[in-house]
Amino acid sequence: MIEKKLLYRFILYIFISSFFFGVLSYFKLQFQFYLWEFFVDLKIVTLVAVVALFYKRKEIVFGSNELLLIHFDWKQNTTIFFAPVLVYILTIVLGLFSNQMTINKLDNAVTLVLATMFDIPALYVFSATTVLIEEIIFRGVLLSSFQRSNSIILTALFSSIVWSLFIGSEIFSVEELNLLKVSMLLLFFFSLGLFLSMLFNRFHSIWPGYSFRIGIITLTPITLTSQLVESDSFFSSSSVIFISEGIMVSMLLIGASIPFLMKKRALTENSSFRNIS
C-alpha cells in the first residue's frame, strides 16, 4: 500500500521517467539489454530503486494482497495464458472478412510453433525481471492503493493511463513513427492495462495478469503482424485496425474489461450501502 501523499509523488516520478526514457528511445540510445538470459530494462531498474527507497522509509507496505506469489493456480493461469488467442481469432476473422488481412504460408511453420511452445517455461522465468515487477508495482501496489479511496472503475482507468505512459517509451522505437501509430499504441497499452486491472480485481492476484502478458509476448509474433515485434506471423495486415496492437484488439480488451468493472463497482456500492444500513 502507498500512503496518499506519496501516491502523487510516485505518479510524478512515472511521468518524468516516461519522458526521459521516451527521449532515449527516440534517439536510439540503449537502455535495455540482456544479463545472461534475463532481460534488463533500466526503466524498470530505476522504478525498483524508487520503490525500494520508499519501502526503506516505511512509506510503502507490501501486503499479502499485493504479492500473492505463492498462490499460483496452474490450470487458471494456463487458461489465461492462451486467452489472447481468442482475441486474435476474432480480429483475424473480421480482418479476413473485410479483406484487410492475408494468410502467410510459412515454410518453417511447424518449427516456428514448436520453438514458441518450448520457449514458454523460459519466458515465465526470465520475464520476472521486467513483466513480473511491473505487475507487482502497478497492479499489486498502485492499483490496490488508489482503490482504497476511489471507485473500482475510476481506479482501473487511472492506473491504466499511468501504466500506459510508463511503458509507452517503447513506442518511440517504432520505425516510421507518426501521430496515428502513437495514438494506436497508446490506446493498445491503455486497453491492455484496463484488462490487467480487471484480471487483478477478478482473481485478487498478480499472476493472471502476468500470464496474460506472457501469452501476448509468446503468441503475438507467430499470430499477427506487430508494430513492436519483428517476426514471421501466420496472418498479416497493413491496417492499424487489425494488427496485434491495433484498434480491434484494443476495443476487444476494453469490451471485455468494462462490463466486469462496472458490475464489480455495483456490487461494491451495494455492499457498502448494506453495511451503512
Owning domain of residue 126? 4-276
93-112 b/e (C-beta count within 10 Å ≥ 16 → b): eebeeeebbeeeeeeeeeeb
Per-residue pLDDT of the chain (277 residues; tens, 9 = 90+): 555 667 778 888 888 998 899 899 888 888 988 888 788 899 999 998 988 887 777 666 555 554 556 677 889 999 999 999 999 999 999 999 999 999 998 888 888 888 888 889 888 988 989 999 999 888 888 787 777 767 888 889 988 998 998 988 888 888 788 888 899 999 999 999 999 999 998 988 889 999 999 999 999 999 999 988 887 899 999 999 999 999 999 999 999 999 998 887 776 666 554 454 4
Q: Residues of the chain with pLDDT > 90: what percent?
A: 43
Q: Cα dist. 135→160, 163, 212 in Å?
A: 12, 10, 11
State pLDDT tens for residues 20-59: 998 998 888 889 888 887 888 999 999 989 888 877 776 6
Q: How many domains does the chain have?
A: 1
Q: What are the contacts of 76-83 at 24+ separation with CB within 8 A?
A: 76/203, 76/207, 76/208, 77/207, 77/208, 77/210, 77/211, 78/211, 80/199, 80/208, 80/211, 80/212, 80/215, 81/120, 81/211, 81/212, 81/214, 81/215, 81/218, 82/215, 82/219, 83/212, 83/215
- pTM of the shown model: 0.91
